[in-house]
Structure 1
């Protein structure tokens, strides 16, 4: 729903769910976010360097980490308190 409101196409959203994008900067953010989730925050120096090499600033790297942390936090709250889902569920493409 948020992706549609931001103007993303269905193809772009499906790619993002799989950690892919045709846009190099978006792909770098998605790669960093995916690494953070898969390694539970224990990313390597190479992960951070890859983001820098793709042109992300230190601020953008920190913002990416913050967004991932906020989403994990929100998911924990929703699961722990059994918050009802008020939008159409999306089946992951992975």
Structure 2
């Protein structure tokens, strides 16, 4: 959703959790070196871009890399929460008080 505030905040939080700047940049475009993370990112992007119009194959891909039903619902919940915070920060033009990150 191109929310500069959320991107900056999530990048700092991701780096604090141990992700590198390169990993955070790749995550923006749905890429990761770990198969399970890559599948979750691909799925999350599809949820956003296709407005949750997922196929059985999308769900099967997640199951095949080790996600169970509860974890799939959790991914969708995180996507929904992030969309909500994106929209709030975009609509209210929240000042970015984290180091800025280039949108890819």
- Superposed pair shares fold, TM > 0.5: yes
Q: Which residue matches 1:62?
A: 73
SS at match of 1:79: helix
Q: Which stretches of structure 1, 4 residues or more, deviate above 6 A after TM superposition? A: none
C-alpha distance in structure 2 between counterparts of 1:81 and 1:14, whole Å: 25
Q: CA deviation at 1:65?
A: 0.3
Unmatched 5+ stretches in structure 2: 1-11
Aligned residues: 93
How far the C-alpha of 1:37 sits from its partner, in A, is 1.1
1:36-75 mapped onto 2 (5 Å cutoff):
36-75=47-86
Which of 87, 91, 103 is matched with 1:80 structurally? 91
Q: Structure 1: where are the runs of 5+ without partners?
A: none
SS at structure 2 position matched to 1:37: helix
Q: Say what the alpha-carbon RMSD is for the aligned residues.
A: 1.2
1:17 to 28, 52, 75: 28
Paired with 2:100 and 2:56, the residues of 1 have a C-alpha distance of 35
Once residues 42 and 5 of structure 1 are traced to their aligned partners in structure 2, the CA distance between those partners, rounded to angstroms, is 33
- Give secondary structure in 2 for the equivalent of 1:82: coil
The two structures have a TM-score, normalised by structure 2, of 0.81
TM-score (norm 1): 0.89
